[in-house]
């Protein structure tokens, strides 16, 4: 067996590892760099506009942490239940 074959195999593995680590670092760096603008302050007086309501002056309203989650029964709304109660009389 040629003595250069093991050296060539080790050098190939090292080169692939180094290039993979470089590409991973490049990907992570660009991801962090491109996500930094999302951390800017938003509001009426800033250049960052996250939604149309915010640019018109009303702050964004988010659901509280205690809001119910999960599938909603769209046929059991108060309005439809009221109509069904009136029809059943």
Q: Show the DSSP H helices in the chain as ranges.
A: 4-35, 52-56, 78-88
pLDDT tens digits in sequence order for the chain, 89 residues long: 678 888 999 999 999 999 999 999 999 999 988 887 777 666 666 776 677 776 777 666 788 888 877 777 777 888 888 998 999 88
Report which of 30, 33, 55 is spatially closest to residue 44, judged by C-alpha positions: 55
d(CA 31, CA 38): 12
Work out the number of other CB atoms within 10 angstroms of the CB of residue 50. 13
Q: Is residue 54 a contact partner of residue 46, using CB atoms and an 8 Å limit?
A: no
pTM score over 0.85: no
Q: Hey, where are the domains in the chain?
A: 1-36
Distances (CA, A) of 21 to 13, 14, 26, 48, 80: 12, 11, 9, 34, 59
Structure tokens at 52: 């149309």
């Amino acid at each position: 067996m040629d003595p250069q074959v093991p050296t060539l195999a080790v050098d190939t593995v090292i080169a692939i590892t180094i290039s993979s680590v470089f590409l991973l670092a490049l990907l992570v760096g660009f991801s962090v760099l491109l996500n930094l603008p999302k951390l800017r302050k938003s509001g009426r007086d800033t250049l960052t506009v996250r939604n149309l309501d915010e640019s018109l002056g009303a702050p964004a309203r988010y659901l509280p942490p205690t809001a119910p989650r999960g599938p909603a029964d769209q046929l059991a709304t108060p309005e439809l239940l009221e109509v069904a109660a009136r029809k059943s009389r």
